[in-house]
Structure 1
Amino acid sequence: MTRLTQSNTWKALQTHTQALPHMRSLFEDDTQRFNNMSTSACGLFLDYSKNRATEETLSLLFKLADETQLVSKINAMFNGEIINTTENRAVLHTALRAKPEQKIMLDGVNIVQEVQETQQQMAKFVEAVSSGHWKGYTGKAITDVVSIGIGGSFLGPKIVSQALRPYWTGKLNCHFVANVDASSITEKLKVLDAETTLFVMSSKSFGTQETLTNTLSAKDWFLTQGGEQNDVAKHFVAVTSNVAKATEFGIDANNIFPMWDWVGGRYSLWSAIGLPIALLIGMDNFLDMLKGANEMDQHFLNAPLTENMPVLMGLFSLLYGNFHGAQSHVVLTYDHYLRGLPAYFQQLDMESNGKSVTLDGTQVDFSTGPVIWGGEGTNGQHAYHQLLHQGTALIPADFIMPLNSHNPLGEHHIQLASNCFGQTQALMQGRNYDEALEEMSDSKLSADEQVLIAKHKVMPGNKPSNTILMDKLTPTTLGSLIALYEHRTFVQGAIWDINSFDQWGVELGKNLGNDVLDRLSADTDATALDSSSNGLINMFRQGNI
């Protein structure tokens, strides 16, 4: 048994949550529930009134946060203490968006100064490329950028670039490559011109298997298209901590951007990993995104728990996973530009909190990270929303929507909003049997048929959701939104007392994959593994003779 589940507050929450009334009743009993259970911060508005919660629920959750020393753990992260204990590292992605005048010391070095120097390096590079001063090997300006990475080095830049499409300068196109499947990079190279293409390789070690393989293939393509080894420096730059390998590859040392151990991949888009973003939207807009994230950092660090947006969202997620049996959480973006955001939050949350032991190695006896999934509204309403409304699983939902569209056109946005708000209402209130039967009263069906169909139209409701609104999707509000989910993830991990910043499961898959790769390339039968792995390896080898 863990200390957490043996606490009186945990046990009180178990009893309390079983006796909560239907949310319909909560709204009927409190006409001010929306006003009492909503808050604003950093350009975002959060309506959390459609949660299975009363004042007592919130009081118990805040008490749990106090007992697990959440505030102290927040301060420890911002102060650069070693909170990633299994890798003996500080966790300071917040320093990447710190204000220039802030001072954060780590091992005797003010890392904010290092971050500012890197941002200045990025700004000069972005200006050189976007202005056309940076020339390819034939003297032509760059028109296309290929970003090569994997995990956080790929997903963050891709999804943020997609989200900020209205802010693209129009001077460059960007293509993202992560999958080691040759089809991915091959299809992109087909439409590119080596004379005007720039490759940005992002790998801390300059040896990540997928990233290095794709980069080597890109280099081979470049050389077969007319470029020479001496021309590589004009078409390849790197974000890495391994300067030696990058320069050996042919990259000019002046075009190598640093990475730091105190930044995890899934938290790295604020660093030079975000170089593709800056190339597309310009450095000023990139800095505005950092500004929004910093504003959320300060809110998270300083706001009382009762008004703290990441804390509220983290506590509600914990509530449903640990006390209502929810095993997944859906993120629904009612904005086309934000359609990739659920995948980004999926990696952020599941790689961070997919753990099964506490910091001291004790096996947990409670549910940790849920499955995060989602999609774009209104598309999902004609697919998986059916499960949300009438399925047997409890799936909490986040609805995200800007009040104003970048593309106002006729009735499109008002219809989008009506769908978004209507879905949250339907999930909350549902439809009982009497209401369903009443709706059938004017039909031509017989009484028995009406009774039968009414049973099929019953929806239990009481399905929780948060609604996050912003005036408009901008670099600043996007920065705030992403930082909100970063800190929401931290809150849960802090209360569960797990390490949200390592990823040993990912490492195991890499190591075993490398072992299998050696056997796939061997000249003898692979017989040292389990029978399934051996059989699959031999089938692949036979099929590729």
Structure 2
Amino acid sequence: MADMLDWTGASLENLDMAAFEARADEMAARLVEETGAGRLPFLSMPYAAALKEDLAQLKDFIKAFDHMLLLGIGGSALGARALQQAFFPQQGQPGHSGPCLWIADNVDAYALEAYLAKLPPEKTVVVTVSKSGGTIETVGQYFILKEWMHRRLGDAWSEHMLLVTDEKQGFLRAEAGKYGITTLPVPDNLGGRYSVLSAVGLIPALFLGMDIDALMAGAQEVATPLADPKLTGEELAAHGSFQLAAWGAALLEKGFDEMIFFAYIPLWAKFGDWFAQLWAESLGKEGRGSQPIPAVGVTDQHSVNQMFMDGLRNKACLFLTCPSLPAGPKFPMDLPDQFAYVRGRDFGDLLQAEALGTRMALSDSGVPLVELLMGDDGPRQAGKLIALLGAATIMTGWLMGINPLDQPAVELGKRLAKARMNADGLTEEKASLNAFLTADRDMREF
């Protein structure tokens, strides 16, 4: 079965899609300009051939380790975690004895101390991912792991390190040159939330034995037409990513300012978290945007689905399904009469039935819904999904008239955190921080 977008429940009759669809020529011209100038490597992937060679040369190095500790945050970790759960679920299952990927994606002293206490340094490679080389949450962990490795392994510490950072500049690039640490680059103009199909996500995928060639091929199947220097508006109008972008922009005009990502492929649930950063950080600008809500089927039928069905009518939904998931064991035949309807049925039938029921109920409740119907749950399909949603997000931003590639508001919080740690400079931030900390507080015991 082919991968499909089912628009049956998208409420197209209630949305002014035509105004955005009419801008296909404009969007095609912009894609040609931006990809031609190298500003959208997520779509054009000019780095792909060199990256495949680098990964081939790196394979024996990383396969020599039993553990990989990935230091990264946001886009430097969310894609890797999604791929890990989707294609290497055995690490979280009983009896696992193969390679283990650990992701340190927060300022979490409990977790970091556990890694230091329990990971065998001689069998561990530490991968630090920061494009700028200055992300303090990540580089701060690198400092601690560097000291730990040096203390336990002596001069061999650098042989257990791998840096993924800017090719030419930044602190981590300087560290690589100083200590001879193996590195792979993050391509120019490739923001973290768009970087999963670079070394950022593919190094941990390679370590776990995933089919990264299929993953990349799937992504290129979707993205390559969008990077064609001869792309026309007619061709773009027929592309699923543009159709989703026009839908997303039209939804916002009608007040649908929340986007549910409902995953009924259980192992793909973490793609919801990946999508949440992609959608929120790209489109939440200038007092506008659409709040992403990751949800997992069937788990969230028993929690937040009440709000989806019967709450404020401001929600739309991307509904992820795959009819060809494993059947699983069969239900026993000797069940009580009240459960007779599942006697002898495959356990997997229940998931498909729940997905159908929820999709119909959401539509009946007035939630505009597009079903992302995957023909398979393999890596090629995951690559297609990543490219589809990334491209749709970029074009939704353009149709809104905002820049989907920056994140200005996020930077303020980072500067204030650095001011709190008394970093040099940041005069205005330190003044704001002092005013905040010395103001009267309304404190109440509970």
Q: Which runs of 5+ in 1 are unaligned?
A: 1-39, 82-89, 97-111, 133-141, 357-366, 430-460, 521-525, 540-545
Are residues 1:408 and 2:328 paired?
A: yes
Alignment of 1:83-482 (within 5 A): 90-96=39-45, 112=46, 115-130=48-63, 132=64, 142-165=65-88, 171-224=98-151, 226-228=152-154, 230-241=155-166, 242=169, 244-247=173-176, 250-252=179-181, 255-274=182-201, 275-282=203-210, 285-300=211-226, 304-323=235-254, 325-356=255-286, 368-406=288-326, 408-410=328-330, 411-429=346-364, 461-482=365-386
Q: Deviations over 1:307-355 (max 9, x none)?
A: 32111212222222112x1221100101221111111111111111221
Deviating more after overlay: 144-153 vs 296-305: 296-305
Q: Tell me the SS of whatever aligns to 2:374.
A: strand
2:173 and 2:15 map into 1 onto residues whose CA distance is: 58
Does residue 32 of structure 2 align to residue 75 of structure 1?
A: yes
Task: Determine which structure has more spread, i.e. the larger CA radius of gyration.
Answer: 1
Residue type of the partner of 2:76?
S
1:245 positional shift: 2.2
Query: In the TM superposition, what whole-angstrom CA distance separates every residue of 1:56-95 from its partner, at most 9, and x where no partner exists?
Result: 95444412x248x1221222232226xxxxxxxx222223
Residue 532 (structure 1) aligned with residue 433 (structure 2): no
Match of 1:491 in 2: 395
Tell me the CA shift for residue 299 of structure 1. Answer: 4.7
Q: What is the CA-CA distance between 1:55 and the residue it aligns to?
A: 10
Residue type of the alignment partner of 1:465: L
When residues 290 and 73 of structure 1 are mapped into structure 2, their CA distance, relative to the original with a 3 A threshold, is same
Q: TM-score, normalised by structure 2?
A: 0.84
Taking the aligned partners of 1:175 and 1:536, their CA distance within structure 2 comes to 42
Conservation of the 8 A alpha-carbon contact between 1:331 and 1:374: yes
Go from structure 1 to structure 2 and tell me whether the alpha carbon gap of 1:419 and 1:247 turns closer, same or farther (over 3 Å shift).
Answer: same
Q: Deviations over 1:413-445 (max 9, x none)?
A: 21111111111211223xxxxxxxxxxxxxxxx
Check 1:530–1:481 CA distance in 2 against 1; reply closer, same or farther (3 A cut).
same
CA distance in 2, matches of 1:289, 1:494: 27
Per the alignment, do residues 355 and 236 of structure 1 end up closer, same or farther by CA in structure 2, a change over 3 Å counting?
Answer: same
For the residue of structure 1 that corresponds to 2:208, the secondary structure is helix
1:6-25 alignment runs, 5 A limit: none
Q: Is the 8 A contact 1:148 1:214 kept in 2?
A: yes
Distance 2:214 2:176 in 1: 32
Identity %: 23
In structure 1, what residue type is equivalent to 2:156? Answer: D
* One-letter amino acid of the structure 2 residue matched with residue 48 of structure 1: W
Distance in 2 between the 1:313 and 1:247 partners? 41
Change (3 A) 1:66 1:205: closer
CA positional deviation for 1:214: 0.7
Alignment-derived partner of residue 335 in structure 2: none
Contact 2:327–2:349 (CA<8 Å) still a contact in 1?
A: no
When residues 518 and 276 of structure 1 are mapped into structure 2, their CA distance, relative to the original with a 3 A threshold, is same
| Partners of 1:206 and 1:246 within 8 A in 2 | no
Indicate the SS of the match to 1:221: helix
Which structure 2 segments of 5+ residues have no match?
331-345, 425-429
Superposed CA offset, 1:212-248 (max 9, x none) = 1111111222234x211x1112211111224652236
Q: Aligned in 2, Cα 1:256/1:266: closer, same or farther, shift over 3 Å?
A: same
**Distance of aligned partners of 1:44 and 1:533 in 2 relative to their CA distance in 1, 3 Å threshold:** farther
Over aligned residues, Cα RMSD in angstroms?
2.8
The 1:294/1:377 distance shift into structure 2, 3 A limit, reads same
Determine whether 1:51 maps to 2:51: no
